[in-house]
Each structure stands twice: as structure tokens, then as C-alpha cells.
Structure 1
Amino acid sequence: MHELSYATSMLDTIINAVKEQEKDGKKIKKVSEINLEVGELTFINIEQLKFAFEVIAEGTICENAKINVQFIKPLAVCKDCGYEGNVKAEDEFEIYCPNCNSMNLKFKGGKEFNIKNIVVEFDE
């Protein structure tokens, strides 16, 4: 279940970022939202990711944080005609260039997993 490793990485990154902010004298009470960018080619099950994060975040500053996900589509680049853009799959194994019908494609992007930003509540 690679969702657990992604969730652990998220939690570690956020807690470290909060600690950095607290070095500047800002007291953060809680993280209320986490906004992610996730590439479609990561094949992450978002519900499993949210569940894993909920379990490991219990008792931390991220407990009960809402996770929002924006998916990033991969771009196909045709090695034959130079087309760059989205493609449609005829079935799950055959993907063609919409310009020249070539299957000689490479993909850019779609494997991202980024914490875009977080929303926090400060202690006054």
C-alpha cells in the first residue's frame, strides 16, 4: 500500500514546515486544509491516501485536516509528428497520437505528488 508511504511523507513534510514557521515566532494551532497536486499516472487511490493520513495524523497538528486534490493530466509527445497534448486511449493498452495515429509516444508529467499549500490556524 504505497498510499501509506505518501501519507507519511505528507505528514513529515507538513510538520517540518510548521516547525520552520514556529522558528520565526509564529504559533500554529492546527492545519485545517491540505491542497495536493497529484498526477494521474501515480495511480494513487485518494480514498486510501486520505484514510492512511487520517490514521497517522491522529494526535498531531494535522489531525482532522481536510485533503483537497487537484489531478494533473499527463501530456503526450508524439515522437513522429511532434504533437504535444492530450490523447485518448482506444482501450487500456492502445494509445494513439490524435494528429498522425502513431503509437510512438512519450509522456511528460502526470507523475507529480506535490503539497501545493496548506491552510493553518494560528494561536493568537
Structure 2
Amino acid sequence: MHELSYATSMLNTILETVKNHDFKNVKRVSKINLEIGELTFINVEQLKFAFEVISKSTICEGAEIEVKFIKPYVICGNCGYKGELDVIDDLLISCPKCGSPSSLKIEGGREFNIKNITVEFEDE
């Protein structure tokens, strides 16, 4: 279950960011916005569940997770096509313009980015 490793990485990154920026009086992280490439094939429900389990007793406990999916971006060495690729359930990927399966260079679609987080602070 690679969703657990993504969830762990996400939690560690957020906790380190809050610590390294020396934010004072952080009450909780209430929202996490992610960008996930479609080629990661991450099951978002499993990711959310894994994050919910590992974030207990941290400032991220109960955080809402929103996901924006990023389509793969390819360049075809055969016809020169540059653009997005619609991912189909099978793993056979070919150029949307010329159909060539062997000359595609994948430039995007494997991302896993924390775009931003919403942090709530304690009242002083």
C-alpha cells in the first residue's frame, strides 16, 4: 500500500514545515490541498484513510484533504505532439495524435505536491 508511504511523507513534510518556520501558537492544520499526477495511480480514499490514522495526536488530526488531479503531459518523438494525455485504465500509453506507443516522453503526471495548507492559530 504505497498510499501509506505518501501519507507518511505528507505528514512529515507538513510537520517539518511548521517546525522550520517556527510558527507560534499553531492550533491545527485544517486543510491540505494536494496536486496528484494521474500516473501515480494513488487511491485517494486509501490515502485519506492512511493520513487519518497516522495523523492522530498531531496538529494535522482531522485535516480536510482536497485533491486536484494533474493529467500526464507527453512529448512524442515521432510526430512532435506536445500536450496532455488521457489515461486509460490499462497501462498501454500511446500518442493521441499519431498512435505511436514507443516514442513518448512523459514530462508530467507523476507529481505528488502539497500545494498549500490552511493553519489555525490559538488565540493569544
Cα shift readout 1:15-57 (whole Å, capped 9, x = no counterpart): 1111123x25x32110000011101011111100000000010
Give the 3-state SS of the residue equivalent to 1:59 in structure 2: coil
Q: Which amino acid in 2 is paired with 1:52?
A: A
Q: Specify whether residues 119 and 83 from structure 1 end up closer, same or farther in structure 2 by C-alpha distance, changes over 3 A only.
A: same
Structure 1 length as normaliser, TM-score? 0.88
Aligned counterparts of 2:47 and 2:72: Cα–Cα separation in 1: 21
Aligned to 1:54: 52
Contact 2:72 2:86 in 1 (8 A): no
Where 2:57 maps in the other structure, the secondary structure is coil
CA RMSD of aligned residues (A): 1.9
Q: What's the TM-score once normalised by structure 2's chain length?
A: 0.88
- Give the paired residue count: 122
Give matches, 1:18-37, under 5 Å.
18-21=18-21, 23=22, 26-37=24-35
Q: Distance in 1 between matches of 2:86 and 2:53?
A: 37
Structure 2: stretches of 5+ with no match in the other structure = none
Equivalent residues of 1:89, 1:96 under 8 A apart: no
Aligned equivalent of 1:12: 12
Q: 1:77 to 1:63 in 2, by over 3 A?
A: same
Residue of structure 2 in register with 1:111 after alignment? 110
Q: Percent identity?
A: 62
Consecutive aligned runs of 4 or more in structure 1 exceeding 6 Å deviation = none
Q: What residue ranges of structure 1 are gaps of 5+ in the alignment? A: none
